Structures are given as C-alpha cells and as structure tokens.
Amino acid sequence: MRLFVALEIPASTRDALRALVAQLAPVCAGARWLRPEGIHLTLKFIGEVSDEAAQNMRAALHQICMPAAVELEFRGWGFFPNARRPQVFWAGVHANAVLEKLADEIDGRLAPRGFKREPREFRPHLTLARFKSGEGLHALQSELVRLEKPSAQSGGASFGKATIEEFHLMQSTLRPTGAVHTTLETFRFVAAPTVSAAGART
C-alpha cells in the first residue's frame, strides 16, 4: 500500500480552493489540476509499504504528543521551484511553530523503524497542480496577477484558518482519473484536558 501522513483541511478551505481551481484550470492546459477533495497538508510521504510495516508505523505514530494544537492560515500561492519553469503550483500555508515540530517528530519516530528521514527542508503547502508542459503558463500568471490585486494589502488571498489537534495516516490509490485518498487511522497529538474533582479543566 502507498501511504503518507497528513493533516485534513477544513471543508470551507477546500471549497475556496475549488473555486480558485475552477478559475485557473481553463487558462492553463499544461497543468494537471488536483481534485480539491484530494488536497491535504502532507507531513510525510512514505510510499509503498507492506501491511506489516504499516502496523509498525502505526505503533510509532501513536506515541506522538505535542504541547499545543497546530494553528493554520491558508493564504497566497506560488510555484516550485520557481515561476519561470514551474513543476508545482501551490497554495500557501502559514502556521505556528507546532506544525514544524510535529512534522519533525513524525520523521524522528519513524526513522528507527526503517523509514528514511526527509532529506529536504519542510515547506508546508497545498499542491493544486503539477505541470506537464508550459502550455498556458503565461495566461495563468497573468490571471494570478489580476487576482492578486484586490488582496495585496492583506498579504494575499486567504482560503481560511484552522486549529488542528489530530493527523491522519492516509492510503493513496492511483487510478486513471487521479489518486484516491483513504484515511486508515487518525492520531490525536494533543492530550485531552483532564477534569479535576471540582469540575475544573486542567
């Protein structure tokens, strides 16, 4: 099975991204646009593993605990590696320090169990499209400039905010129409508050 670890994004953010993709996809035929329902904030891509390895992985992920929730704002967009010869078009993710610590903790917990550490710096984003060719790229960039003008003073178009306390082990099944993602297990990484005898949350 082909696995990755990710955070779910709010339905309202998914709807906002769906509207953006609907505007941009017609002008850029050289991009393969992802279905909005398949967009997640990936923390670690794992790849093909056996059922036994997946069980081993779940045991490690259950050990993860963070002191606070991840606070996210989905805002702006950009290209990897650059706008001149892009491979990926993405929506921006702005987060508190917990997000990077969570990604590093997942990496660290899985490494002793045979899953290689990520060689690249963690750069949170939501992938919206991958480029097959440069067809329509100039038109796409012109449309982005037009869309950026009304939101420039606020630091870029916003697609919503979220407070997240759990992550998910996801299975990706490749099909001709695109990848289908299934949640295998959910892991809460913020300890639930305890209630004292007097009824106060601690």
HSE-CB for 105 with a 13 A CA cutoff:
16
Active site (annotated) includes residue 181: no
Per the DSSP assignment, residues forming a β-bridge with 90 are: 78, 127
Q: Tell which phi-psi region holds residue 136, choosing left (phi > 0), alpha (psi between -120 and 50) or beta.
A: left
Measure the CA dihedral 70/74/77/79, to 10°.
30
Closest CA to 164 of 60, 88, 77, 66: 66
Gap between the Cα atoms of 28 and 89, Å rounded: 11
Active-site hit among 62, 94, 125, 181: 125
Nearest to 73 by CA among 94, 54, 42: 94
* From 40, 62, 138, 181, active-site residue: 40
Active-site residue list? 40, 125
